[in-house]
Amino acid sequence: MVCDDVMYTQKSLAQRYDISIAALQRWYPFAGIVKPKKRGGYFDAATVEIADTFYVAIKIRRLTCEEYLQQVIPVGGLDAFMQKVNGIGLYDFLTKHISDEERENYIVQSVIKRLERNEAYKSASTTVASGAR
């Protein structure tokens, strides 16, 4: 994640999700993850955010990889999917509708923080735009 200021290799990214490198590599086509071009290369922050969202979808929301690819991606992402299917946004789901243990998960916390930052940015942008008239 951007807030982590950490550079991830395949090995360290797999460790982040507590999975093997082979399992991480199986995520690539489903999650839209692009492997770094050079051997030993690093994933950029946007790719880590994508992987975090995929992790939340399959581990916390308990979607299959195929469901993610066929249902989540076409509607515009996990938040849009959650609103369409469950009638609540991703933020509300992660902060109100999962167990405390799941909520304490490092990846879940990272996604919640990113959603809060994005919401704060939207609010600030709306305030600036409405004040500029």
State residue 124's pLDDT score. Answer: 61
Q: What is this structure's pTM?
A: 0.84
Rounded mean pLDDT of the chain? 89
Q: With contact defined as beta carbons under 8 Å apart, do 16 and 75 qualify?
A: no
Query: Hey, how many other C-beta atoms are within 10 angstroms of the C-beta on 26?
Result: 13
With 70 as the cut, is the pLDDT of residue 129 above it? no
Percent of the chain with pLDDT over 90: 77
Based on the number of CB atoms within 10 Å of its own CB, is 33 exposed (0-12), middle (13-18) or buried (19 or more)?
A: middle
Q: Can you name the residues that pair with 43 across neighbouring β-strands?
A: 8
Domain ranges for the chain, please list them: 2-131
Report which residue type is found at 38: K
Q: Which helix (H) or strand (E) holds 33?
A: none
Q: What is the pLDDT of residues 35-91, one digit of tens each?
A: 888 887 899 999 999 999 999 999 999 999 999 999 999 999 999 999 999 999 999
